Structure 1
């Protein structure tokens, strides 16, 4: 371009995605830790997403459940915790201190203040009382190693206390101290979700003490996280970075400057890549198909998605809150969606067609591979989307 910035077009962005997100056949991983490291984080709001996202990127998806459970609950090389945008993710253990300092501290302060405000408004006990309950709860969890909220309540009965949330409002409700306090402790990095009650699709988790990690400088942690993300997902616009991190735009700009990020030209305007990542990336020459789960980190990776998602598909694939459902990919772009029926069949649809027979055959093969891998397991996304509801009926 006239201003000297290199232009990165759609084809190159899709080539980077295929290789760095381990979706091209030659880029498949051998372990869940490799997948999480390549993507920076796996969405964990829906427990099944973690395993399905890993399986879609492993050379041998049959290893996904056992290997991911071992990484999460035995080796602790992966940790499920709150992160960007106050969302639950699974991170590489080595990244937990960076995530906590860069995104968790500010959210934690707001969460604790909100809890104390709600309790005070309901005439519940004060901060000193809550501090006693918190200390007793953490001590009980340390003794047990991991525990459900009910088990912790047996050890610390004050967790059963209830208070009215938003009295007089249309959304008025009753909260227990246990539900709100454990959430606050999770955001503060004092507890993490442990092994679930039930199978890998269960959303009923035990709690466990958070692994110890150093306290990092906030600005330094933000720079470290942004650089990791750019190397996995760059190029990206400022809007992408602000949305993904949940930071203020001033924080995004400060981190970009600190890591020496390079400006590039994108079809939608100015983008950024990490220093030293400006060299062209050529398509691998191996067309690929993938069936990615609801909330997959690739589908949810950017705020601006037109380069890999036709805007006409959005009403079919997203719910009203912006959560993506299961998606069908062909060679770097979303072409449709999929679902699992009650009998276990994997069904998919490419609305409007527009793909070659080669693509349809590759998608069908991935669908059959997914059906065989899931076996008797049934997966229903936590956030239902229009096309997924239609296909699964």
Structure 2
């Protein structure tokens, strides 16, 4: 069995994920990672800036909202991602359509179990189907709308589902139904209602992005192709890494891999998998060590379930209680610290693993460059971690 060392994996990651900042456009960055995490809208912009020295905040906005070459989509693990627009049919078939079915069953179950205020008239499943159709018509009339505007047009969206367990919170149907409809490919998240860091957006009809509707893709082929893309960008890795990233069952993951030319490798003591015919063979040149500031929920550290091979410091300082990673500071493919933006717009860093003078100087330059490119914006990540909080509070 061929052995792949931690050094080999880090070297491939730095090159494939453009951690030296050599990517040209937001689209190139996104393709190099399969997708960008978009739960926190600011992470999309910061992930691009970290990998493309030539891109600006305006360039990212233009890709998302002017060219519409990138689109936010509900996909793996019920998480928002940004994908290249041409990849959405594949993603829809591979993960989003099954996810929509789960979300629909969950909403029906909540209505049946918890009831609602006012009560749903008749069968909850039929009620949801009819409300979806009315929401689509309302959105088509407006062309673009916030959730609040749609609720004004369709008051049934304000139906309240009370809590029936300590772990639950009362909720309006609005968020659950619109999330379900987006996962089903019936509407699209459009422009933000505020600045680029805003977590609120407008909805648009699917026909404004795909006039003839989303093209149909065979689910089995879509799962195979998604697994191949992930292995090309994140392999070699473990079976569990792929299963975690996609949110698939063990059976679905195995079926997808069974259609691919897979080689079993020794990942520095663990069994891993890699493609026998990778799309990008590694170069012979050793990449120069580079400093990179990646945002919270960046797709690189969130690309694997097992992360020990690139963690140079205690993981407890980098992750929140839900397992989400905060801002990370990288040197030569290894996380050695964190960073934060102060309330005054200054980028501050903390290094917990000393990697020498060259690393310290490169990190200082990278922080200064990012501060300049942020143009005074203050970014507070959605995933607040102990280390990031300490840097922010220290600067107050």
Query: What do the CA deviations read for 1:323-363 (whole angstroms, capped 9, x no partner)?
Result: 10100000111011111111111111111x42110000000
Verify the 8 A CA contact 1:99 1:221 in the aligned structure 2.
yes
C-alpha displacement of 1:160? 1.8
1:251 aligns with 2:252: yes
* Distance across 2 between alignment mates of 1:257 and 1:127: 36
C-alpha displacement of 1:223? 0.3
SS in 2 for 1:216: coil
* Distance across 2 between alignment mates of 1:380 and 1:248: 34
Verify the 8 A CA contact 2:12 2:282 in the aligned structure 1.
no
With the length of structure 1 as denominator, give the TM-score of the two structures.
0.93
Q: Which residue in 2 is equivalent to 1:206?
A: 202
Verify the 8 A CA contact 1:43 1:50 in the aligned structure 2.
yes
Q: Which residue in 1 is equivalent to 2:100?
A: 108
Q: Which residue in 2 is equivalent to 1:41?
A: 35
* Distance across 2 between alignment mates of 1:391 and 1:291: 14
Query: What do the CA deviations read for 1:272-294 (whole angstroms, capped 9, x no partner)?
Result: 22231396654533111100000
SS in 1 for 2:203: strand
Q: Which residue in 2 is equivalent to 1:142?
A: 140
Alignment of 1:141-220 (within 5 A): 141-165=139-163, 167=164, 169-210=165-206, 211=210, 212-220=213-221
SS in 1 for 2:23: coil
Q: Which residue in 1 is equivalent to 2:289?
A: 287
SS in 1 for 2:230: helix
CA RMSD across the alignment: 1.6
Verify the 8 A CA contact 1:313 1:336 in the aligned structure 2.
no
* Distance across 1 between alignment mates of 2:234 and 2:285: 16
Uncovered stretches (5+) of structure 2, i.e. residues with no partner:
none
Verify the 8 A CA contact 2:185 2:214 in the aligned structure 1.
no
* Distance across 2 between alignment mates of 1:147 and 1:335: 43
C-alpha displacement of 1:101? 1.2
Per mean C-alpha deviation after superposition, the further-off stretch among 150-159 and 38-47 is 150-159
C-alpha displacement of 1:202? 0.2
SS in 2 for 1:300: helix
Query: What do the CA deviations read for 1:130-178 (whole angstroms, capped 9, x no partner)?
Result: 222211111111222221011112222222222214x2x1134322121
Per mean C-alpha deviation after superposition, the further-off stretch among 323-332 and 106-115 is 106-115
Q: Which residue in 1 is equivalent to 2:374?
A: 374
Q: Which residue in 1 is equivalent to 2:264?
A: 263
SS in 2 for 1:7: strand
SS in 1 for 2:293: strand
Verify the 8 A CA contact 2:181 2:187 in the aligned structure 1.
yes
* Distance across 2 between alignment mates of 1:283 and 1:292: 24
* Distance across 1 between alignment mates of 2:91 and 2:326: 26
Q: Which residue in 2 is equivalent to 1:119?
A: 111
* Distance across 1 between alignment mates of 2:374 and 2:152: 37
Change in 2 beyond 3 A, CA 1:376/1:160 = same
SS in 1 for 2:321: coil
Q: Which residue in 2 is equivalent to 1:225?
A: 226
With the length of structure 2 as denominator, give the TM-score of the two structures.
0.92
Uncovered stretches (5+) of structure 1, i.e. residues with no partner:
none
Q: Which residue in 2 is equivalent to 1:273?
A: 274
Q: Which residue in 2 is equivalent to 1:11?
A: 7
Change in 2 beyond 3 A, CA 1:247/1:32 = same
